[in-house]
Amino acid sequence: MSQGIATLRSVAHHFISQQMGADMLAESLAAIRVIRPGMTLYPRAIVEAILLSEGSIGSAQLVAQLLGFRNRFQLARLLKREGLPPLHRLAAWTTILSWVRAAERDSTCLFRLAYRSHRHPAACYRLVKEVTGLSWTEVRRRGSAWVERRLIMEFRKTVDLTRPRPGAPVVTCRPKMLMSSRAYRSSETHGSRARQNSRRAL
């Protein structure tokens, strides 16, 4: 899979070379590394490639093939096991963040950004609405800092799900074959009565 990681990184650098003024989301990547310091090699390579390319690095099937997985489902299980957001969601938030930053930097509208990235403008507006729940105008008003916080939250959510809540009761599972003391006393009582009745019958 090391060759796949090298290919994945080359794809990321290819996307970077095609973009104008790409800032590579260095601050976001540093923040994610702080939140998720224990990411293993392949998930870390995926996250870095997406952030470096400022968006999609290809379909889940393509990324799975580059890393040597049998299919995209195996890749999805790996990301879930690592507690990471799904590939498409991570790419979508990163793409939107790159758009907002470009709009702030160059005062560029989303229509022109879509044209630059060879996307249909309607699809870009729809992606913003589906991912953020807000219109492009509202997202643009809230700014890149808000989008970046939401991107970081995607990683915080998965971390919080794996942590026990403070004060939560600790539940221990007992084997089904073990009976409670009440059930044991009840069984002993029934057994004693049965023995007494058998003696009387004799």
List pLDDT tens digits, range 108-134: 999 999 998 889 999 999 999 999 999
pLDDT at 100: 96
Position 177 pLDDT exceeds 80: no
Dmax (CA) of the chain: 102
pLDDT at 105: 92
Give me the chain's average pLDDT, please. Answer: 77
Arithmetic mean of pLDDT, 3-26: 50
Position 173 pLDDT exceeds 60: no
Position 92 pLDDT exceeds 90: yes
pLDDT at 32: 87
pLDDT at 181: 46
CA distances from 167 to 116, 161, 170, 171, 173 (A): 52, 15, 9, 12, 19
